[in-house]
C-alpha cells in the first residue's frame, strides 16, 4: 500500500489495489451451491442463490461433488484422468484413510471401512 487515503462517506479508506478484492467465480459458485443444498437455509435464500447462479451462467441443479465421505463409493477410476488438482485431492483422501488405520482413537469398524476403501483404490 502506498499509505495514501481517499475519503468515502466520511470514512478514510486506505488506497489498495482493486485487484486484491476480485472474487474467484468458481468459489462463489461453490458457496452458492452449498447454500442450495444446506437444509438449514431458508427457501428465500436458496431461491436467491439459484438466481445468482443463473446470472453467472452456472447450472444450479448439478450433482454435488463426491468428497469421499462415509458411504461414498467414489474410486480413482471415476475421476477424470490427468487433472493434477483431482489427483492431489485423491492422494490426500487416501492418505486420510491410511491415517485412520494407524490412529489408536479410531474404532475397529472405522479402520475396517478405511481398509476397504484403500483396497478398492489399490492403495493398500
Answer yes or no: is 69 within a domain.
Answer: no
CA distance 113 to 100: 9
Of the candidates 32, 54, 52, the one whose C-alpha atom is nearest the C-alpha of residue 41 is 32
The reported pLDDT for the residue numbered 53 is 87
Residue 10 falls within a domain, yes or no?
yes
Q: How far is CA 95 from CA 73, 99, 101, in A?
A: 17, 6, 10
| 82 and 52 both lie in a single domain | no
* Domains of the chain: total: 2
φ and ψ of 108, to 5 deg: -65, -35
Inside any domain, residue 68: no
The verdict on residue 39 lying in a domain is: yes
Domain range spanning residue 25? 5-56
| Tens-digit pLDDT profile for residues 68-104 | 444 444 444 444 556 777 788 888 888 898 999 999 9
Residue 56 has pLDDT above 50, yes or no: yes
Residues 42 and 12 in one domain: yes
Do 114 and 80 sit in the same domain of this protein? yes
46 located within any domain: yes
Identify whether residues 43 and 11 lie together within a single domain: yes
In this structure, is residue 61 part of a structural domain? Answer: no
Model pLDDT for residues 20-41, shown as the tens digit of each residue:
556 788 888 889 999 999 989 8
pLDDT at 108: 92
* Assigned domain for 64 exists: no
Q: Is the pLDDT of residue 120 over 50?
A: yes
CA dihedral 29, 35, 36, 40 (to 10 degrees): 170
Distances (CA, A) of 32 to 20, 27, 35, 67, 76: 21, 9, 5, 17, 27
Tell whether 82 and 110 lie within a shared domain.
yes
Is position 33 within any domain? yes
Amino acid at each position: 500500500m502506498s499509505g495514501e487515503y481517499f475519503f468515502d462517506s466520511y470514512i478514510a479508506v486506505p488506497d489498495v489495489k482493486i485487484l486484491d478484492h476480485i472474487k474467484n467465480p468458481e468459489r462463489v459458485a461453490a458457496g452458492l451451491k452449498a447454500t442450495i443444498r444446506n437444509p438449514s437455509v431458508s427457501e428465500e435464500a436458496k431461491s436467491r442463490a439459484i438466481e445468482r447462479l443463473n446470472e453467472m451462467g452456472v447450472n444450479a441443479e448439478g450433482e454435488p461433488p463426491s468428497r469421499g465421505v462415509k458411504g461414498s463409493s467414489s474410486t480413482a477410476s471415476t475421476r477424470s484422468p490427468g487433472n493434477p488438482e483431482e489427483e492431489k485431492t485423491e492422494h490426500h483422501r487416501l492418505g486420510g484413510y491410511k491415517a485412520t488405520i494407524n490412529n489408536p482413537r479410531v474404532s475397529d469398524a472405522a479402520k475396517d471401512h478405511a481398509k476397504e476403501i484403500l483396497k478398492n483404490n489399490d492403495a493398500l
